[in-house]
Amino acid sequence: MLEFYSREFNFTEINSTYYKMPNIFMFFNLSKKTPDNFRFSVKLHDSMTHEKTASKDDYMKFNEALKPITDNGKLGCVVAQFPYSFHYTPENIHYISKIKENILDIPLCIEFRNQEWNNADIYKKLSQEQIGYVCVDEPDIKGLVKPISVVTSNIGYVRFHGRNCEKWYNHKEAYERYDYLYGEDTLKDWVSRINFINDNTDFTFIAFNNHFKAQAAVNARMLQRLLDSLI
């Protein structure tokens, strides 16, 4: 499926690494199935962002697993996606710096779910450490991060989660949260924001997480058409 996918898109996120620590053979095989211009982003493991129990040895193993795609230039970045319960505190700001240290020279991007992190001080801190800020589109629910365009490193990143307010918290299965299909008018609102991010970075990665029934692929094609129409 990856080979088929790579004929149309030149980037994908690897989310399985959040649930299970990866190994080097996994990325060797992923790399073999994709062309030279293909790029991956890789989500950090749950123990690094949610449980916060990862050891230095865990980070070393994670970094080692990525070698097939770091060595051939196919790794765009790793993504640390923090939960809503990760609050804007001095301790958590320090924790982000420790992650940056532990992943060595691998580019890092941070996704926050709590609106507390949307402030000038954290943008400055991320810029100083060359950590990318992940811009998100998600439901308009009090406390969640609003759709903004922020650049804090040479990597731009946008993640579309859908706007399913009803099922964001009230769901039986996790996939229900992301059961949402964007309309063209909604995506048009992002075109100027994405162009701003792209103009101020070396690379911009755009990911759709509204994966239920392949709605992500539908919207990725839709956004690509919108962006191409303005070139």
pLDDT for 174-195, tens place per residue?
Answer: 889 999 999 999 999 999 999 9
Residue 110 pLDDT > 70:
yes
Q: Residue 124's pLDDT is what? A: 98
Residue 231 pLDDT > 70:
no
State how far the alpha carbon of 189 is from the alpha carbons of 9, 183, 186, 192, 226, in Å: 22, 11, 5, 7, 10
Nearest-angstrom CA–CA distance, 107 and 96:
13
Q: Residue 164's pLDDT is what? A: 96
Q: What is the mean pLDDT of residues 181-210?
A: 97
Q: What is the mean pLDDT of residues 46-63?
A: 98
Q: Residue 229's pLDDT is what? A: 86
33-37, 183-187, 212-216, 227-231: segment of lowest average pLDDT: 227-231
**β-strands 155-160, 132-137 pairing:** parallel
Q: Residue 174's pLDDT is what? A: 85
> Residue 121: which pLDDT band, with cuts at 50, 70 and 90?
very high
Q: What is the mean pLDDT of residues 35-60?
A: 98
* Average pLDDT score, the chain: 96
- Enter the tokens of residue 9: 């898109």
Nearest-angstrom CA–CA distance, 216 and 222:
10
Q: What is the mean pLDDT of residues 44-49?
A: 98
Q: What is the mean pLDDT of residues 130-145?
A: 97
Task: Report whether 63 contacts 21 (CB < 8 A).
Answer: no
SS (H, E, C) 138-195: CCCCCCECCCCCCCCCCEEEEEECCCCHHHHHCCCCHHHHHCCCCCHHHHHHHHHHHH
Count, residues in the chain: 231
- CATH of the structural domain 2-228, one choice from 3.30.565.10, 3.50.50.60, 3.20.20.410, 3.40.630.40: 3.20.20.410
